[in-house]
Amino acid sequence: MAVHINSLLAAAKNVHCTSEWFTDIVGTNPVNIRKILVQLKKAGLAGVRASIGDTFLLIGLDC
């Protein structure tokens, strides 16, 4: 699922990426998405702005 999230972040550059947005696409509970986003943040792959509910890619992915 982390690969799907990274792919979505790379493809959706102008979209407000919240856990609910990921849930609609991936089809899982928002809590599961948030847990994976925390792991991606710790790995330095994604950034999360909790106050506005936005997620963004910290590194470039070659798609």
Domains of the chain, residue spans: 2-57
Stretches in the chain below the pLDDT threshold 50: 63
As a three-state string, the secondary structure of 7-46 is HHHHHCCCCCCCHHHHHHHHCCCHHHHHHHHHHHHHCCCE
CATH of domain 2-57: 1.10.10
Average model confidence (pLDDT) for the chain? 83
Prediction pTM value: 0.77
CA torsion, ordered 18, 24, 30, 34, to nearest 10 deg = -50
Q: How many residues does the chain have?
A: 63
Task: Quote the pLDDT of residue 60.
Answer: 67
Q: How far apart are CA 1 and CA 21, in angstroms?
A: 14
